[in-house]
Amino acid sequence: MTAVLQIVFDALSLGSLYALGALGIAAVFGVMRLVNFAHGDFIAFCVFAMLLPSVDATAIVFAGQLPFYLLIPLLLLVGAGLSMLSEVIVFRRFRNANPATMMIASFALGFVIRHLLLLLYSSRPKSITLWPSLGLPVEFLGAHIPMLQVVTIIITLVVLAVLVLFLKHTRYGLEMRAAAENFTMARMLGVRANGVILLAFAISGMLAAAIGLILATNSGTADIGMGANVMLIAFIATVIGGLGSVPGAVAAGFLIGAASVVFQATLPHDARVFRDAFVYGAVIVVLLVRPQGLFAPKSAKQRV
């Protein structure tokens, strides 16, 4: 029983990370059909923003020493700022471009950010100590669960709740939903395109910062490539969740996290190194069964 409970918590916490990532991708995709491959590098950037640039092995913590009630808003601001800046400088110029062109542009932007970090900080991972008390285990129905897992799950649920409230009950949320449903029509009806898109980027950037914080707390390190893995899984989750569907993206994020944990827990030892092959294989199977995604929005029907 405790073992099962432990697995459930493992799956939930990993799934939470993926779900937050998928949300960040889906927010932008919804309004401008852009798969933002720079999202992973946004995550890394937010983490490195806590350090002073230095190629020395020992990190010089800059913002990381702030109390949490200052650090968290600051980092969310950094994420939102970077994300909005990228929209203003880069993506705004791709409004009418082919999605493949946009995708490659976002990849190139991520490439630039990554190599900039590399130049400023070198590739050696830097240590960051954030809230060591979160590393302590708590006991829950006989299972020992690291505090951070619980916090991660709670944060994800809170973020989801806030986002749902925002989308359902505010004017901006309504505009965003309208834009995601049918962008041209929304514009005709007076939704300001640039405003909505900028808002989507801000939300996406804040989600990147949140993931960065969780990853940094969990691993205790800042590493150039730390966002890449989450970004990839989040991208896949967005698609199998049904592109444009926010609840779908979240559900698929949790599903992939759960699949990964369950494969790790149940595969025989020699097959465990092939875990990712099983996960990707499962993704292909899901796509074959539901090509429009698990929770495709009605608008996703192809039109002639």
The enclosing H or E element of 62 equals none
Q: Are 249 and 36 in contact (CB under 8 A)?
A: no
Please report whether residue 99 would count as binding another protein according to CB under 8 A: yes
Which residues, 155 to 174, sit near another protein by CB under 8 A? Answer: none
Task: State both tokens at 51.
Answer: 């350090």
Residue choice 60, 68, 85, 115 for contact with another protein (CB under 8 A): 115
Paired tokens of 277: 């092959």
**CB neighbour burial string for 75-111, b if at least 16 within 10 angstroms, e if fewer:** bbbbbbbbbbebbeebbeebeeeeeeebbebbeebbe
| Residue 280 in contact with another protein, rule: CB under 8 A | yes
* Stretch of 44-52, 65-73, 114-122, 168-176 lying at the interface with another protein (CB under 8 A): 114-122
Q: How far is the CB of 14 from another protein (least distance, A)?
A: 5
Q: Is 225 in the site for another protein (CB under 8 A)?
A: yes
Site for another protein in 120-139 (CB under 8 A): 122-129, 132, 135-137
* The only residue of 65, 111, 142, 162 in contact with another protein, by rule CB under 8 A: 111
Q: Which of 19, 223, 251, 252 binds another protein (CB under 8 A)?
A: 223
Classified as helix, coil or strand, 35 is coil
Greatest alpha-carbon pair distance for the chain in Å reads: 59
Task: Assess 94 for contact with another protein (CB under 8 A).
Answer: yes
| Cβ–Cβ under 8 Å, residues 39 and 227 | yes
Task: Report angle CA 114, 86, 19 to the nearest 5 degrees.
Answer: 75
- Interacting positions 238-257 with another protein (CB under 8 A): 239-240, 243-244
Does residue 6 touch another protein according to CB under 8 A?
yes
Read off the amino acid at residue 260: S
Which of the ranges 67-75, 95-103, 153-161, 165-173 carries the binding residues for another protein, by CB under 8 A? Answer: 95-103
> Between residue 18 and residue 77, which ones bind another protein under the rule CB under 8 A?
18, 33, 35, 37, 55-59
Q: Which is nearer to another protein, 110 or 205 (CB)?
A: 110
Q: The tokens of 182 are what?
A: 């049918």
